[in-house]
Structure 1
Amino acid sequence: MVKQREDSAAAFEKGSRPELAEQERIEISVIQEFLPKQMTEDEIATVIGDVIAAQGAQSLKDMGRCMGVLKERYTGEMDFGKAGAMMKKRLS
């Protein structure tokens, strides 16, 4: 939801519509008040390490199971695209 607003604000800026870009940014700040705090990359790396260890994961074949655990425990708290890339790197 926030990402879409950020993309819209950037498009409005590019299209010389700063008033609409500002409105999108205001809406972003309101939305963020209601969303859970997002984990930092360091926090994500720590959680990934914990999940890999707890699941006994050793290769990319185990990635789906580990990502399932992350999604079950941390929905809304992390960027799963970023987490997936980090986990893939760890399991490669």
Structure 2
Amino acid sequence: MDLKTQLSDEMKTCMKAKNKERLLVVRTMLAAIKQVEIDNQITVDDAGVLAILDKAMKQRRDSHQQFVAAERPDLAEQEAYEMTVIQDFMPQALTQAEIVTLLDAAMLETGAANMQDMGKVMAILKPQMQGRADMAEVSKLIKAKLT
């Protein structure tokens, strides 16, 4: 079952269960997908939906950190809840060992030797790790290996 269908089914389930908080998050994700489809005049596939969910997750993570720093626990709690709902639709996260293995394989494949080759490595890793790893952390690992 594709991710859009899963989100639609979850929306119906939330409506029947009268779970308003979860319903709001699911509808927000469906609206984001629909917005991309309308703006680009395409039908988003699973990889596209995953990219949209990953972007939403990153936005929630950033907002959560800002709310914690601003001592707004009520808003931080809401962002944390939204992250858990989004995470339900994301694939299982990669372990640190799996990330390093994929990183080493990509560096070997591209023959990366210095920082100028970082884009080549990221181009290979991004589709493999989309939604399964924090790409900012992966970027830091690549920089550490290339310096």
TM-score by length of 1: 0.74
Moved over 4 A (4+): 6-10
Query: Among 22, 42, 46, which residue is 2:97 paired with?
Result: 42
Superposition deviation, residue 80 in structure 1? 1.3
| Aligned mates of 1:36, 1:9 — CA distance in 2 | 21
| Aligned mates of 2:119, 2:140 — CA distance in 1 | 12
User: Are 2:111 and 1:56 equivalent residues in the alignment?
Assistant: yes
Superposition deviation, residue 72 in structure 1? 2.8
Superposition deviation, residue 48 in structure 1? 0.6
User: Are 2:74 and 1:14 equivalent residues in the alignment?
Assistant: no
| Aligned mates of 1:24, 1:4 — CA distance in 2 | 9
| Aligned mates of 2:113, 2:62 — CA distance in 1 | 37
User: Are 2:33 and 1:33 equivalent residues in the alignment?
Assistant: no
Counterpart code for 2:83: I
| Aligned mates of 2:142, 2:93 — CA distance in 1 | 17
Superposition deviation, residue 7 in structure 1? 4.8
Deviation string for 1:8-58 (max 9, x for gaps)? 45627823x54x544433332221100122223322111111111122222
User: Are 2:57 and 1:2 equivalent residues in the alignment?
Assistant: yes
RMSD of the TM alignment (CA)? 2.4
How many pairs align?
Answer: 90
Structure with higher RCO (Cα < 8 A, 6+ apart): 1
Q: Any stretches of 5+ residues in structure 1 without a counterpart?
A: none
Identity of aligned residues (%): 36
- Residues 60 and 21 (structure 1), Cα distance of their counterparts in 2 relative to 1, 3 Å cut: closer
> What secondary structure is seen at the aligned counterpart in 1 of 2:94?
coil
Counterpart code for 2:137: K
Superposition deviation, residue 6 in structure 1? 4.3
Counterpart code for 1:42: A
User: Are 2:141 and 1:81 equivalent residues in the alignment?
Assistant: no
